[in-house]
């Protein structure tokens, strides 16, 4: 919440009139310390370097050991599909909650999600678990983004929720079902963990993966995910912190 300062109360009789303090515009917060301005010559601008990366949720590390960051929330609706295990989906959900997002899980496996939801908020309902078909509008906004997790098996029904800005949907598929091509084609980003060779061939066709990635998918470790669009792809190794390990245990592909 932005902080505001207000003009000092009017002078009392006989007191010196004090100058009102200026208002601080909402959204800009408190004014920092006053310092002399630094002037840089145009010729020196080339020496400046600003490390700029994606903002979002750290979902693991890349093959070089650097943080892999997923820009999870967007000004428009954003759809992800994860062909993998509950463990990886729960890591993403916990980290979304850690940055202040609300997480709503629609699932028939409440026994897998309930303990995580209870542990996530430290008493605050930042992660909620809903029965299949009982998830209502979430009211996502830039100040209150929402991650909707749909854990509904290999043949998830179409969502009843309308697409909304700042609302991201993560559809979890334990394996590829009969309507997998439709689900994958509709996604903005697809994550694939270890799958069968026949499934890898299907994913390769839908995402236009090179042959080496198709061959690698059936042998991925429990903590590895290939995140891909038709333009880019990145292997990410999920590394759980001590608190996450206490809640979720170690990496698992199957549940």
The pTM of the whole model exceeds 0.85: no
Average pLDDT over residues 214-229: 96
**Residue 122: its pLDDT value, please?**
64
Distances from the Cα of 109 to the Cαs of 38, 48, 161, in angstroms?
58, 52, 20
CA-closest candidate to residue 196, choices 223, 175, 226, 181: 175
Percent of the chain with pLDDT over 70: 77
**Residue 83: its pLDDT value, please?**
97
Tell me the per-residue pLDDT of 62-92, one tens digit each, with 9 for 90 and over.
999 999 999 999 998 899 999 999 999 999 9
**Residue 161: its pLDDT value, please?**
86
Average pLDDT over residues 222-239: 94
Average pLDDT over residues 93-121: 91
Least confident interval from 40-44, 106-110, 199-203: 40-44
**Residue 198: its pLDDT value, please?**
96
CA-closest candidate to residue 58, choices 216, 221, 244, 247: 244
CA-closest candidate to residue 92, choices 116, 115, 111: 116
CA-closest candidate to residue 171, choices 86, 55, 113: 86
Say which residue, 124 or 98, is predicted with more confidence: 98
Cβ proximity of 171 and 185 under 8 Å: no
Q: pLDDT band for 41, please (50, 70, 90 cuts).
A: low
How many other C-beta atoms can be found within 10 angstroms of the C-beta atom of residue 250? 9
**Residue 147: its pLDDT value, please?**
96
Mean of the per-residue pLDDT values of the chain: 83
CA-closest candidate to residue 109, choices 128, 126, 86: 86
Average pLDDT over residues 143-163: 91
In this structure, is the dihedral angle defined by the CA atoms of residues 201, 205, 209 and 210, taken in order, positive or negative?
positive
Average pLDDT over residues 122-139: 86
């Amino acid at each position: 919440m932005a902080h505001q300062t207000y003009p000092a109360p009017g002078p009392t009789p006989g007191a010196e009139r004090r100058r009102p303090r200026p208002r601080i515009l909402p959204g800009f917060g408190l004014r920092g310390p006053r310092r002399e301005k630094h002037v840089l010559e145009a010729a020196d601008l080339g020496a400046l370097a600003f490390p700029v990366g994606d903002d979002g949720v750290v979902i693991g590390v890349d093959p070089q050991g650097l943080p892999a960051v997923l820009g999870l929330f967007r000004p428009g609706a954003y759809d992800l599909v994860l062909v993998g295990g509950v463990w990886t989906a729960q890591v993403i959900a916990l980290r979304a909650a850690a940055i202040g997002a609300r997480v709503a899980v629609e699932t028939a496996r409440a026994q897998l999600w309930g303990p995580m939801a209870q542990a996530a908020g430290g008493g605050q309902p930042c992660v909620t678990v809903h029965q299949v078909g009982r998830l209502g509008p979430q009211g996502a906004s830039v100040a209150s983004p929402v991650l909707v997790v749909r854990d509904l098996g290999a043949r998830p029904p179409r969502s009843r929720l309308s697409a909304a800005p700042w609302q991201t949907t993560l559809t979890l598929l334990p394996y590829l079902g009969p309507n997998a091509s439709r689900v994958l084609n509709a996604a903005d980003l697809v994550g694939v963990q270890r799958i069968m060779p026949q499934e890898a061939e299907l994913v390769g066709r839908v995402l236009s993966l090179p042959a080496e990635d198709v061959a690698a998918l059936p042998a991925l470790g429990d903590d590895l995910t290939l995140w891909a669009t038709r333009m880019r792809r990145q292997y990410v190794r999920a590394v759980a912190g001590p608190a996450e390990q206490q809640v979720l245990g170690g990496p698992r592909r199957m549940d």
